[in-house]
Amino acid sequence: MRILAVDTSTASGSIALLEGGKLMAEWTLFSAQTHNRRLLKMVDTYLGALGWTIDDLDGFAVTSGPGSFTGLRIGLTTMKTLAWTLGKPFAAVPSLDALAAPLGFASLPVCALLDARRNEVYFGLYQPDGKGGLQRKGPYLVMPPAHVADRIEGKAVFCGDGWLLYRDLLSETLGPRIVEASAPYHIIRAGFVGDLARRRFLEGGADDPVLSVPLYVRLSEAELLNPHLADQHNQHLAQPARSDS
């Protein structure tokens, strides 16, 4: 199975091409430019480098959020359109799941943090399953960084641009409970987005590209004004994690 995977949820956009369980190509760049200025160009470049065409792909995967609202819309719109047009399987992968995935072999819980702006972070806490995978503990959340300490009971591995942004503050509140991941673990790599999607595809799972929407986590203005919508939003976030996340 050949999969194209994309992350546009943060400033460090990434694309990857996988064949079976093998990563064939991966490109990641931190840039202030919006992703729509380079996404399809880089996809075309790396397909060409492998001698593949878009028709050779068997599935598409993209980070669904949380993250930059503009970035999420760019990635989701592009990949949903390709999957729907070609009639190929599609997977929307939560950004925090993809960020934490490389740390599946850790011996400690993994705390994934993404910058949510407004002096807040997107938060996901994961427990390694002993087989290289992670199980999410609780819902995806958005909170002030000072509140992260309330969610961490013992030592944990911290990763993500949210950790980098608020390292000093978090170090003050968490102290010896912190194990900091090294530099490559603080960005979302599309190779892991693709691998999470591949596992779902092999199990017969996929998302409907027509119905898939961004996972914003933070309430929209409409939800803030409508308690019923807010309840639906929170119930969606509280759904159990898939076994491959």
CATH topology for the 2-96+187-218 domain: Nucleotidyltransferase; domain 5 (3.30.420)
**CA atoms of 172 and 186, how far apart (whole Å):** 20
pLDDT of residue 33: 64
- Reduced to 3 states (helix: H, G, I; strand: E, B; else coil), residue 24 is strand
Backbone angles phi, psi at 134, to 5 degrees: -130, 145
DSSP state of 96: H
pLDDT of residue 38: 83
pLDDT of residue 32: 64
Domain boundaries for CATH 3.30.420.40 within the chain: 2-96+187-218, 102-186
Reference 90, options 203, 208, 198; nearest CA is 208
- Taking the chain (245 residues) in consecutive chunks of 10 residues, what is each chunk's mean pLDDT? 96 94 94 73 96 98 95 94 97 98 97 96 97 96 97 97 97 96 96 98 96 85 45 48 43
Reference 62, options 20, 13, 8; nearest CA is 8
Residue environment code for 198-232, b if the CB has 16+ CB neighbours within 10 A, otherwise e: bbbbeeeebbebeebebbbbbeeeebeeeeeeeee
Q: What pTM, to 2 d.p., does this model score?
A: 0.88
pLDDT in tens, 164-180: 999 999 999 999 999 99
pLDDT of residue 128: 97
- The alpha carbon dihedral of 97, 159, 145, 175 has a sign of positive
pLDDT of residue 31: 74
Torsion of CA 24, 96, 183, 90, to 10 degrees: 10
Kindly report the CATH number that applies to the domain delimited by 102-186: 3.30.420.40
Strands 22-30 and 12-19: antiparallel
Residue 5: count of CB within 10 angstroms of its CB: 30
Reference 219, options 124, 116, 95, 138; nearest CA is 116
Residue 120: count of CB within 10 angstroms of its CB: 19
pLDDT of residue 51: 98
Q: Name 105's Cβ contacts closer than 8 Å, sequence gap at least 6.
A: 128, 132
